[in-house]
Structure 1
Amino acid sequence: MVIKPKIRGFVCITSHPAGCAAHVQEEIDYVAKQGALEGGPKRVLVVGSSTGYGLSSRIVTAFGFGADTLGVFFERPSSNGRPASAGWYNTAAFTAAAEAKGLYAGNINGDAFSQEIKDKTIATIREKLGQVDLVIYSLASPRRTDPVSGETYKSVLKPVGSSFAAKTLDTDKKIISEQTIEPANEQEIADTVKVMGGEDWVMWMDALSEAGVLAEGAATLAYSYIGPEVTHPIYRSGTIGKAKEHLENTAATLTAKGHPAWVAINKAVVTQASSAIPVVPLYVSLLFKIMKEKGLHEGCIEQMYRLFAEKYNNGQPETDEAKRIRLDDWEMKPEVQEAVKALWPTVTSENLEEISDFAGYQKDFLQLFGFGLDGVDYEADVEADVPMDA
């Protein structure tokens, strides 16, 4: 079948197997070009491994350190002529490339929040790896079912305390407008923390520890974001921010339990999750323009390579006063933020493409789903049913 992008709102509902494979190969080639990394983990579990930072983390640890990896994700295979999800195709491509290099690349598809998937992961580690040296927790989900209570919680994208009005970008229509969002109530805040906070991270680490599948001194990493003042009301000071604060505080909890834990604060990139947040696509479009002009721009793979090559220090990471690894250091440089701040009040629907890198934003968005990759024939028939080795 010939597969074209079909975009609805902030989601592309189709994905291209050859394009996703090309995107994964680009990231693998980037790591190979930078060169092998010394030391580091050799057996890695990535919870949330099929897209974005989780996928790039798996690529860097496998092709940088030569690590055997086990990935956990929740992706959709192809069915009834419908393409699989991008994460499915990404993982199939990664698995083939890793196995061709002689690396173990195990995959578990299912709800990472569930006890069933935790148990299946533990059994697989015992059988294939014995133990793991590093656990990377990189889940992004709009809802979570608590495996103990059975209750399902849903997250919301809302400010806290008062309503929020700001410019936002309709990425479909390329229109900038003013949007007002009413504040979350206490239940919505609590539910968002339940979904996106650190509770499940603790459950994973406790389960792995109790099962004896963590190597001595095994560490764990999770990812977060802070961002600039212009996005704080809807992000850092909003419901998501409350959840991220909980996630960051969880690192101290895990470390106290004997599992060295850190949260890396990453820079803004285009992801399926960030595309849904008001204000963020406009901010990212302006940010990309400035960072590219200054030679500071990074995508997920560049960030994750820099994390392990320069910041992680084989388990002795460089951190800020709150014990966080700051990969957003280039984004938050005063000269970058001042340039973005100067552009912000001047951007309109009419000059959007002139004074921002909205074209770069759109390209990155489409590439999340395997579209717009060089060397891929998007007019050719492709097989949508791509198998994935377990």
Structure 2
Amino acid sequence: MIIQPKIRGFICTTAHPAGCAEHVQEQIDYVKKQPKVDGPKKVLVIGASTGYGLASRISATFGAGADTIGVFFEKPGSEKRTATAGYYNTIAFEKEAREAGYVAKSINGDAFSDQLKEETIELIKEEFGQVDLVVYSLASPKRMHPRTGELFSSVIKPIGNTYTNKTVNVHSGEVTDVTVEPANEEEIQQTVAVMGGEDWEMWMKALNEAGVLAEGAKTVAYSYIGPEITRAVYRDGTIGRAKDHLEKTAHELDQYLSSIGGSAFVSVNKALVTQSSAAIPVVPLYISLLYKVMKEKDLHEGCIEQMYRLFAERLYTEGETPVDEEGRIRVDDLEMKEDIQAEVAALWEKVNTENLEDISDIEGYRSEFLRLFGFGLEGIDYDQEVDPSIELKA
């Protein structure tokens, strides 16, 4: 099959196996060039196949020399359709990790289910005995509660007031206004149920009760705060309410894990092009302007740079883990610098369809978006036939 990108809305419905492998290799190569991290050795990554979760797994293995187990929900390919990008990413990561002498195992299924938690616990017992780091990086629009069977669906809406601001059609480059109606209480609660901390807490308690958390084990989940521009639809909206719950859960888990000398953190990360962020109104335009400013100042970071820095300078630095007044790790510190935010805000006031290409990095956004699915990588012949049905080895 000759595989080309097929864009539908804010997702790409195809993925290229060779391109995904090259994208993974670039991240591995970056970490290999950095100083070694005196970090974890047996790591569980929940949500391990794309974005920050994949970058965490790469940083753990090639930065700290860790064996890993990855949990995710991805679809394999067939003769007629490609696999999801995360499926190809995992094949590529495991191949490189195993060739380098590391254990790299994966479980593909519903991470919200009790059954998959039990499967993971058994695999930890077989392969590692215990894990010393658990990364929680799940991103899903829906979640079925494992105990009640209730299906929750998240929404991206403001709370309290209708919200209107600029947005961009990334593919056409048209800048328009978008209006989002406020969420009702049911939508808020459902979003918290999907994207808050309940499942993370269930994972950590299941792991601890099974005795597979090592003495001093750490866990980290990922969050975002962002600027004033996106605040109404993000941090003050339904997603922000879920992130508040996630951060509250971190404090509760930190106390819970004290019995084994463990700790729990939320890491607030930078705005990046991911499959999740592409779905949020206003955010792609903000990211396009942010990339322009940060690249000009030589401060731009992608997922892998962020996660390596999280491991090397936050989670596994000497002494106490540096946190803000709310107890959160901040690797969004460069994004949130006053001068950067001031420049982005000034560009935001000026940006329109006519000047978008000149004053933003919309082309960089498009490129990053396609790279998530294995397209636009140097050295890949996209006119060549490839087999989309390669398998993830046990």
TM-score, with normalisation over the residues of structure 2? 0.98
| Number of residue-to-residue matches in the alignment | 389
Tell whether the 8 Å contact from 1:49 to 1:58 is kept in structure 2 after alignment.
yes
Q: What is the rounded CA distance, in whole Å, between the counterparts of 2:218 and 2:33 in structure 1?
A: 27
1:28-39 equivalences under 5 Å are 28-37=28-37, 39=38
Cα RMSD of the aligned pairs, angstroms, is 0.9
Letter in 2 for 1:375: G
> Which residue matches 2:383?
379
Q: Is the 8 A contact 2:289 2:360 kept in 1?
A: yes
Unaligned runs of 5+ residues in structure 1 are none
Residue 322 of structure 1 pairs with residue 326 of structure 2: yes
Letter matched to residue 376 of structure 1: I
Other-structure match for 1:303: 306
Q: Which amino acid in structure 1 is aligned with residue 77 of structure 2?
A: S
> Corresponding residue for 1:92?
91
Equivalent residue, structure 2, for 1:20:
20
2:240 is the alignment partner of 1:232: no
Q: Are 2:154 and 1:155 equivalent residues in the alignment?
A: yes
Task: For 1:256-295, list aligned pairs within 5 A.
Answer: 256-258=255-257, 259-295=262-298
Query: Shift in Å at residue 257 of structure 1?
Result: 0.6
Aligned-partner Cα distance in 2 for 1:366–1:88 = 16
Map of 2:134 onto structure 1? 135
Matched with 1:145 is: 144
Given the alignment of the two structures, is residue 339 of structure 1 paired with residue 350 of structure 2, yes or no? no
CA contact (8 A) 2:171 2:366 kept: no
TM-score of the aligned structures, taking structure 1 as reference length: 0.99
Partner of 2:392: 388
Separation in 2 of the partners of 1:178 and 1:303? 31
Alignment of 1:44-123 (within 5 A): 44-123=43-122
How many angstroms apart in 1 are the aligned matches of 2:380 and 2:128? 36
Amino acid at match of 1:316: E
The DSSP-based 3-state class of the residue aligned with 2:33 is: helix
Structure 1 residue 238: Cα displacement:
0.2
Q: Over residues 279-309 of structure 1, what are the superposed CA-to-partner deviations in whole Å (9 max), with x where a residue is unaligned?
A: 0000000000000000110000000011111
Secondary structure of 1:26's match? Answer: helix
Q: Tell whether the 8 Å contact from 2:79 to 2:389 is kept in structure 1 after alignment.
A: no
Q: Stretches of 4+ moved more than 2 A in 1?
A: 313-316
Amino acid in structure 2 at the alignment position of 1:27: Q
1:72 maps to amino acid: V
- C-alpha distance in structure 2 between counterparts of 1:348 and 1:89, whole Å: 37
1:35 Cα deviation from its structure 2 partner: 3.0
Taking the aligned partners of 1:254 and 1:11, their CA distance within structure 2 comes to: 34
After TM superposition, list the pairs within 5 Å mapping 1:183-222 onto structure 2.
183-222=182-221
AA partner of residue 364 (structure 1):
E
Which amino acid is 1:221 matched to? V
CA distance in 1, matches of 2:180, 2:266: 29
Asked if the contact 1:9–1:172 (Cα under 8 Å) also holds between the matched residues in 2, the reply is no
Aligned AA (1:223): Y
Distance 1:276 1:345 in 2: 22
**Is residue 10 of structure 1 aligned with residue 10 of structure 2?**
yes
Deviates more, 1:135-144 or 1:256-265: 256-265
Percent identity between the aligned chains?
Answer: 61
The alpha-carbon deviation at position 312 of structure 1 amounts to 1.6
Letter in 2 for 1:274: S
Corresponding letter in the other structure for 2:314: K
Q: How far apart are 1:310 and its partner, in Å?
A: 1.1
Cα deviation, residue 331, structure 1: 0.2
1:129-157 per-residue CA deviation (whole Å, 9 max, x = no partner) reads: 11000000000000000001000000000
For 1:130, give the aligned amino acid: G
- Cα separation, 2, equivalents of 1:366 and 1:316: 39
Letter in structure 2 aligned against 1:263: V
Which blocks of at least 5 consecutive residues in structure 2 are unaligned? Answer: none
Amino acid at match of 1:249: K
Kindly indicate whether the alpha-carbon contact (under 8 Å) linking 1:133 and 1:217 is maintained by their aligned counterparts in 2.
yes
d(CA) in 1 for partners of 2:79, 2:243:
38
Cα distance in 1 for residues equivalent to 2:325 and 2:9: 39
Shift of 1:313: 2.7
Q: Aligned partners of 1:171 and 1:360: how far apart in 2?
A: 11
Question: Counterparts of 1:164 and 1:304 in 2: how far apart (Å)?
Answer: 32
* TM-aligned CA deviation for residue 80 of structure 1: 4.1
Other structure's SS at 1:34 match: coil
What is the alpha-carbon distance in structure 1 between the residues aligned to residue 170 and residue 143 of structure 2? 28
